[in-house]
């Protein structure tokens, strides 16, 4: 069965610090990869997604993620975080064919100190 | 409305009672998903519907859980004989479906508390 691991459960950073959140998945075939964000009191929304092509994808609000197939990873990065980035971040994987089931990780709670 | 609508937003029930949670997806979206969000557990897949295909029920935790989707639109998640461990936020999401779509659009969720 597919699974998604997010190893950092809680991260606390000061403003302007760099961010990298880890995401690893277990599935050997073609995958589609996503990062979602849930700001306090709001619903989940898409940050970025990878389907094919350039493994470095850019999303909203200065976030980017890099797909490394050999490592089954899709880490999220941002060079300089802001207080408004305080939120919970979820990595998700969907098989590239056959099923459209999205499997989510357990999430990473990010707190940015002003 | 323009987004995914879920009701009720909050539900408090007693152990052993049945509950129904409703999801109204974005108009035209053929795929509809239910997830359960518990503290520290992330989003747990429950079930998804894609068009007229048989639903993928592989995530339903027990036979107390069931879901249906009428007319390819509104969906109802039913939990029978609720238990305290069923307390969670139940999220519904929809998407236009197909291989090249990606973004799931989530509702605000239904927070269920079982006393």
As a whole number of angstroms, the distance between CA A19 and CA A38 comes to 17
Mean pLDDT within A35-62 = 93
By Cβ distance, the residue of B40, B56, B109 closest to A101 is: B56
B103 with A46: Cβ contact below 8 A: yes
Residue B5 near residue A43 (C-beta atoms within 8 A): no
Range of weakest confidence among A54-58, B1-5, B29-33: B1-5
pLDDT tens per residue, range A72-114: 999 999 999 999 999 999 999 987 666 678 999 999 999 999 9
Q: What is the pLDDT of residue A29?
A: 79
Residue of A nearest to B4 (CA): A43
- Token readout for B27 is 């108009």
Rounded to a whole number of angstroms, the distance between the first and last alpha carbons of chain A is: 41
Are B31 and A104 in contact (CB < 8 Å)?
no
Mark yes or no for CB contact A32/B102 under 8 Å.
Answer: yes
* pLDDT tens-digit map of B42-52: 899 999 998 88
> Cα–Cα distance between A93 and A20 in angstroms, integer?
18
Dihedral sign, CA of A57, A94, B69, B53? Answer: positive
Contact criterion met (CB < 8 Å) for B109 and A100 = no
Residues of A within 8 A of B90 (CB-CB) are none
């Amino acid at each position: 069965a597919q699974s998604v691991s997010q190893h950092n459960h809680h991260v606390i950073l000061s403003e302007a610090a760099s961010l990298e959140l880890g995401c690893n998945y277990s599935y050997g075939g073609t995958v589609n990869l996503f990062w979602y964000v849930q700001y306090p009191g709001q619903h989940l929304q898409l940050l970025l997604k990878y389907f094919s092509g350039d493994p470095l994808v850019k999303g909203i609000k200065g976030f980017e993620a890099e797909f490394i197939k050999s490592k089954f990873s899709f880490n999220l990065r941002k060079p300089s975080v802001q207080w408004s980035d305080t939120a919970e971040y979820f990595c998700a994987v969907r098989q590239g064919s056959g099923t459209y089931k999205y499997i989510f990780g357990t999430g990473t709670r990010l707190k940015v100190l002003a | 409305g323009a987004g995914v609508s879920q009701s009720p937003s909050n539900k408090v029930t007693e152990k052993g009672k049945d509950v129904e949670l409703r999801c109204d997806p974005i108009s035209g979206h053929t795929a509809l998903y239910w997830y359960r969000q518990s503290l520290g557990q992330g989003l747990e897949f429950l079930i998804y519907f894609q068009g007229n295909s048989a639903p993928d029920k592989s995530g339903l935790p027990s036979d107390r859980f069931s879901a249906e989707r009428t007319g390819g639109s509104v969906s109802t998640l039913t939990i029978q004989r609720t238990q305290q461990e069923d307390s969670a936020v139940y999220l519904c999401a929809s998407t236009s479906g197909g291989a090249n779509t990606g973004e799931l659009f989530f509702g605000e969720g239904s927070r269920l508390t079982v006393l």
